[in-house]
Amino acid sequence: MSKKHVITFRLDGDEMTEIERICKTLRLSKTDYLRAVALGGQAPIGLPVATPAPPMDESRLVALEAGQRDMQMALNDSASAFTLLLTNLNEFLRIPTFREYRARDLAGNSIKRDGEAEEVYLLRLAHRYFIQYQVWPDPEDKTKFGPAPGADLAKFPRIKPAG
């Protein structure tokens, strides 16, 4: 009986996808796979041979655990560095009050010149503050502006002078 017969049957899309996936995994044609399934013949040629894993050596396990500890420490260091970076970035993006800006100027290398009048110093500092943050300090808000003699505040412009 050398005559070949064709058998047809209906499948839905999911069933056909599953058969194609199995055939691809086993590296078999659909014909060979379905023939083996229908006739219960030999195991398909494409099945991989199972090989047992080598026994786990204690020293290898210790080395793996040490490697995991090193990776965990590196991850912790990276996480803390990232947190610090976010903190610094938030501080960089935050606009300080003019009072805080003045305190930083006095604590660091101050731009105040010897014998310079306070109102001139405040005006120069306000210009630097405006250049950096694009905000002109308001002298009427004492909590944000900071302490200054009343005479100096009277001379301080409420809006940025032109030029």
Are 28 and 61 in the same domain? Answer: no
126 domain residue, yes or no: yes
Average pLDDT estimate for 34-40: 82
Whether 131 maps to a domain, the answer reads yes
Residue found under tokens 């899309």: 13
Calculate mean pLDDT across residues 93-118: 83
Domain count, the chain: 3
Residue 52 lies in a domain: no
29 and 14 assigned to the same domain: yes
Cβ atoms of residues 127 and 103 within 8 Å: no
Does residue 35 sit within a domain? yes
Domain span at residue 85 reads 57-94
Q: Nearest 10 degrees: CA dihedral of 77, 78, 80, 83?
A: 170
Instruction: Write the DSSP assignment of the chain as a string of letters.
Output: ------------HHHHHHHHHHHHHHT--HHHHHHHHHHT-SPPTTPPPP-PPPPPPHHHHHHHHHHHHHHHHHHHHHHHHHHHHHHHHHHHHS---HHHHHHHHHHSS--PPTT--HHHHHHHHHHHHHHHHS----TT-HHHH----HHHHHHS-SSPPP-
- Per-residue pLDDT tens over the stretch 83-95: 999 888 877 787 8
For residues 102 and 157, which has the higher predicted lDDT (pLDDT)? Answer: 102
Within a domain: 162: no
Q: How many CB atoms lie within 10 A of CB 132?
A: 11
Whether residue 43 is predicted with pLDDT greater than 60 in this model: the reply is no
Any domain includes 163 = no
| Cα 123 from Cα 127, distance rounded (Å) | 6
**32 CB-near residues (< 8 Å, 6+ apart):** 44, 45
90 in any annotated domain: yes
pTM of the model: 0.40
